[in-house]
Structure 1
Amino acid sequence: MMLSDGDWLALWVGVKLAVVTTLILLVVCTPLAWWLARRRLPGQALLEALLALPLVLPPSVLGFYLLIGLGPSGPGGWLAQWGGARSLAFSFTGLVIGSLVYSLPFVLQPLKNAFAAIEPRQLDMAAVSGARPMDRFFSLVIPQARHGYASAVILGIAHTLGEFGVVLMIGGSLAGETRVASVALYEHVEAGDYASAHRLAAVLLVASVLMLWALFRWQRKQNTGVMP
């Protein structure tokens, strides 16, 4: 399937964005998901609602507020000045920040569910045996939460690859910097170039199906011990 150099570049930017975003979210969401799964505090329901807001909030609304925050008059402008830039909007760094907010619940929820399913007695027994908290976490929690981590990785990457409203609002379409595949596809359709749009859409469709297929196949293997 022949894609133009611009489309290949847009795919590369999108893949890089998805990988960077997902890796950062895994680091951030692991302690956050563990805390949410193991604690019941006043106001926690409101906090979880705010963290899950990107699931229901229109992407254009989220993108608008991110654009304001990352622009030269917002906090993003102050942070960008340290690096010699005018703002974080319309930059790859800005895309990463926006993607972290937009894709956070898709990584957080699978980890939280996986942690909540772990039997507390196992951790208590390990503690009685003298295992330190970090030892218990890495030797007991992480292996048992592998399903959650696999889901978090696949969903984080797939969701970030499919972003449109947020990335268009805060990133625009700068080739090699902020122009991702979803934006390139929109531009093809807007220009009436349906042949290029079909080719790029087909690549995204196949990639999405393969990622989900790999996830479900791996989960079934882990649950049954038999490769389907």
Structure 2
Amino acid sequence: MKLAGVTTVILYLLGLPVAWFLSQTRVRLKPVLEALFALPLVLPPSVLGFYFLLAFSRQGWLGCLWEELFGHQLAFSFDGLVLGSVIFSLPFMVHPLQAGFNAVPHNLIEASYSLGKSKTLTMLKVILPSMKSSLLTGGVLAFAHTVGEFGVVLMIGGSIDNETKVASIAIYDLVESLDYQSAHIYAAILFVFSFAILMAVYLVNKKLDLR
């Protein structure tokens, strides 16, 4: 939950400008950029996790720089999990937000500008309130995806108690130790949690659509 919460906050900060840029830009490289940001959706987690591990290790450029700046290694740390989760879950935030930006009527934006509102005020007072459903969907999907992530987390974090051992890794360890009863409890909790959070999103979005 801690990992998912931190990751979701960072993804809001990164996803909003990225989604806005992708929704507004008309550059020829736009399909390339969209494919690049969507790559984690189709790339096997083990592939991303492998390259993350190389970059995050003490021999990797990022891991070496991180250890010089902060005094601890990036791989097999909570910071490494956050960074890997942000990259891997980015499309789950960007895609709903981009769709939300595209759905905002352009005449509302133009009307705001014509009334003398700045771009910042237009974004805060007009655009974002008009896409509440997309904001909610992006946040929930990013949060839920991070909670259930396994492959990337295992590759770059391993299973260190109180540091990198998340729920999905705990289930894996319990199954390996043949403790199926405890694994079932963990799995059932995640199943109910995932269903409940998605159900809540659909209900809230339905209410927003009716307004």
TM superposition score normalised by structure 2: 0.98
Aligned residue identity for 1:128: S
1:156 to 137, 142, 160: 142
Distance between the aligned counterparts of 1:220 and 1:83, measured in 2? 45
Aligned partner of 2:164 in structure 1 is: 178
Aligned-residue sequence identity (percent) comes to 44
2:169 matched to 1:169?
no
2:81 matched to 1:95?
yes
1:65 to 51, 64, 75: 51
Aligned residue identity for 1:21: T
Q: How does 1:8-27 map to 2 (within 5 A)?
A: 15-27=1-13
Q: Which has the higher helix share?
A: 2
Please give the per-residue CA displacement for 1:19-50, whole angstroms capped at 9, x wherever unaligned. Answer: 00000000111111111101110211111101
Task: List structure 1 runs of 4+ shifted beyond 4 angstroms.
Answer: none
2:193 matched to 1:219?
no
Aligned residue identity for 1:76: G
Aligned residue identity for 1:78: L
Cα shift at 1:224: 2.1
Q: How does 1:1-228 map to 2 (within 5 A)?
A: 15-74=1-60, 75-85=62-72, 87-225=73-211
Two-structure CA RMSD over aligned residues (Å): 0.8
Distance between the aligned counterparts of 1:39 and 1:102, measured in 2? 23
Distance between the aligned counterparts of 1:97 and 1:77, measured in 2? 15
Q: Any stretches of 5+ residues in structure 1 without a counterpart? A: 1-14
Aligned length in residues = 210
Distance between the aligned counterparts of 1:202 and 1:130, measured in 2? 54
Aligned residue identity for 1:115: F
Please give the per-residue CA displacement for 1:146-201, whole angstroms capped at 9, x wherever unaligned. Answer: 11110011101100000000000000000010000000000111111100110000
Distance between the aligned counterparts of 2:76 and 2:36, measured in 1? 25
Aligned residue identity for 2:64: G
Q: Any stretches of 5+ residues in structure 2 without a counterpart? A: none
